[in-house]
Homo-oligomer: A and B are copies of this chain.
Amino acid sequence: MIVDSLICSRLDRDGIEEIRAGGVDSVTVTCGFWEDATESLDSVVRWRELVTQNQDIAAIATTAAEMEEAQRDGRLAIVLGFQNSSFLQGRLGYVEAFADLGVRVAQLTYNIQNDVGGSCYDPTDSGLTRFGEEVVAEMNRHGMVIDLSHVGNRTSLDAVHASSLPVAATHANIFELVEHPRNAPLEVLKPLAERGGMIGLTTYHNLTRGFIATPSDWAEMVARSVDLLGIDCIGIGTDSNQRGTDEYREWMRKGRWSRRPQIGASPPPGVAPSQRPDWFTGPQDFSALGEALAGRGFSATERDQILGGNWMRFYTEVIDTQRESAPEWKV
């Protein structure tokens, strides 16, 4: 199984075909960044309709078993995820509602603090809030992956410890290798890895500065990541944005909350922009990642782990396990 643990593309049939052309078997898509509950519901419905309309080549997967079933059928498994918890709109009970609709991954925050916790761009990270603690427990109860990408370090560490199941950073690199607020430090990643969590190393050029010009540069970053954290927690989450428009990027950066410049993950004014690699232009080039790893001397077994095997172990543990407990009410 080849897994891309996060893309932010808005897909159509051509986009699905591009991902399949890269050899990817399962991909987590982004249903929303700042969208509220109704808009998030609209988005989930649109993604489900897209898959229904293209069911010869795609299937919504809500378990690791369904991802493997889709692969056997020659279809791309699509996992529904959110890059924020704004879809909850303050309602604890919406975790179950969106889980029932097929959502399996949710970040606790996007680029700014919310009622769950602090983001990676906030000068002071509050840590996980009281609501955040209940959200984590409820996501555990429904096998929804707790995604710590974009989340502040203190909130991330709180979530690693609060969660009864392994957690993930689906699209980030290691801060000690590439210093960027979006990348996660070992202080977070070591306890995450010790508890069975995952990091989806990204090809996104702004988070991969110094390790992206050539395939061997990127494979070197993966090798150093394995040295730092062990191989079992390492996967790939490209953060690909197929045919991303300026308007879409502006939405990601500002939502409806700002009238000021917001640069997102881009370098600040005065710092040279980082270059998009020509050897990895999108999911259609995913196979180049496997070749890069082979070139760096990773064995076939190791490549299988990094390219998807580790994610499948994680998904099986987090998503597939039937949880029976009723919601916890303490009045």
Which single residue of chain B is at the shortest CB-CB distance from A258?
B134
Cβ of A82 within 8 Å of any chain B Cβ, yes or no, is no
Binds B, one of A1-9, A111-119, A267-275: A111-119
Q: In the complex, A328→B36 CA distance in Å?
A: 25
Q: In the complex, A327→B261 CA distance in Å?
A: 14
Q: In the complex, A329→B260 CA distance in Å?
A: 6
Binds B, one of A43-51, A58-66, A122-130, A179-187: A122-130
Contact with B along A87-125 (1 / 0, CB 8 A): 001111100000000000000000011110010011111
A83 to chain B, nearest CB (A): 14
Residues on B with beta carbons closer than 8 Å to the beta carbon of A295:
none
Residues on B with beta carbons closer than 8 Å to the beta carbon of A331:
261
The majority secondary structure among interface residues of chain A is: loop
* Neighbour of A113 across the interface among B36, B86, B115, B327, CB < 8 A: B115
Within the oligomer, what is the number of copies of this chain? 2
Docked-complex contact B89 and A36, CB < 8 angstroms: yes
Q: In the complex, A331→B261 CA distance in Å?
A: 5
Residues on B with beta carbons closer than 8 Å to the beta carbon of A328:
259
Residues on B with beta carbons closer than 8 Å to the beta carbon of A127:
123-124
A115 with B118: in contact, given A89-B36, A90-B255, A90-B257 (CB under 8 Å)? no
Cβ of A72 within 8 Å of any chain B Cβ, yes or no, is no
Residues on B with beta carbons closer than 8 Å to the beta carbon of A124:
124, 126-127
A134 with B330: in contact, given A86-B90, A124-B126, A129-B113 (CB under 8 Å)? no
Which single residue of chain B is at the shortest CB-CB distance from A121?
B130
Binding site for B on A (CB under 8 A): 34, 36-37, 86, 89-93, 112-115, 118, 121-127, 129-131, 134, 255-261, 327-331
A-B contact pairs, 10 of them (CB 8 A): A113-B115, A114-B115, A122-B126, A124-B126, A126-B126, A130-B258, A130-B260, A131-B257, A261-B330, A261-B331
